[in-house]
Amino acid sequence: MKLSIVLSTHAAQFQAVAFKGDFETNVAKIADYGYEGVELAIRDPKLVNPDELEAVVQRHGLVVPAIGTGQAWGEERLSFTSSDPAVRRAAIERIKSHIPLAARFKAVVILGLIRGITPAGQTHEQSMAFLVEALQECSAAAAPYGVRYALEPLNRYETDLIHTVADGLDLIERVGADNFGLLLDTFHMNIEEPSIEESIRACGERIFHFHVADSNRWHPGAGHIDFNSILTTLFATGYTGFVSGEFMPKPDADTGAKRAIEYLRQCQV
């Protein structure tokens, strides 16, 4: 099992990012704890120096399996489903601007809250139409570079759009692009899926990335999710990607990161 953990390149408000602050210090710690990868949360690729980023990550022997984009919603309210065409355009351009960095790292680009939330006065149907259109444009732009997008079903308290694998599979059907799939996150699945294992099997080859947090969004092992069963099911689909820790810095970031790897390494998968 290849393990990574989420790290923000800049200070972020998102609570479930364990590591915030000095980038290289955190990369060094993550490598030291035994992780093989670091998932980077990047609000805007313009704000990072790709050569420096690559040098730091390589210096510590890590790879970048995925790039998170949600801070563009969290800090700037960019969204694929805004009723304002200028905001939708900015969101699409922002997401396309991740392509060169993702190609360099062979990383999947994560689409979480950039999908937005249906604004007052707009129908769900209209939001879905905007979403499909945006995803088709982004997927077509990324395909020549071998870059893939993974949309993450999120729980009902974060958005009204795409809560489950079933919703995600319908969306995949509508988007119709081979480089568009899903990111499954055990925290959200525990809230929304009737059976986490059944949904993993249903998603199969369209699982492009995988987040782990326990039921309370602490590190795996701190709640009641059955990771032995879930990870066994995940790898039985033929999944060869990373299992990436995205959990709250509880009791603190370092302890959470150490406990997560210790717990996941002893899972029988």
Q: Which of 40, 102, 154, 261 binds ligand LER (CB under 6 A)?
A: 154
Nearer to ligand LER, 88 or 211 (CB): 211
Nearer to ligand LER, 20 or 211 (CB): 211
For residue 91, give the 3-state DSSP assignment: helix
φ/ψ of 92, rounded to 5, equals -65, -45
Vertex 115 angle, CA 92 and 40, to 5°:
80
Distance of CA 69 to the CA centre of its chain: 8
Contact 182, 151 (CB under 8 A): yes
State yes or no: residue 7 binds ligand LER (CB under 6 A): no
Give the nearest distance from C-beta 189 to ligand LER in angstroms: 11
- Which entry of 152, 192, 197, 205 is annotated as an active-site residue? 152
Across the chain, the runs of DSSP E, i.e. the strands, are: 2-8, 37-41, 66-68, 108-111, 149-151, 180-185, 207-212, 242-245
State yes or no: residue 241 binds ligand LER (CB under 6 A): no
State yes or no: residue 193 binds Mn ion (CB under 5 A): no
Region near Mn ion per CB under 5 A, out of 127-135, 163-171, 209-217, 257-265:
209-217
State yes or no: residue 39 binds ligand LER (CB under 6 A): no
Residues that bind ligand LER (CB under 6 A): 70, 112-113, 152, 154, 158, 185, 211, 246
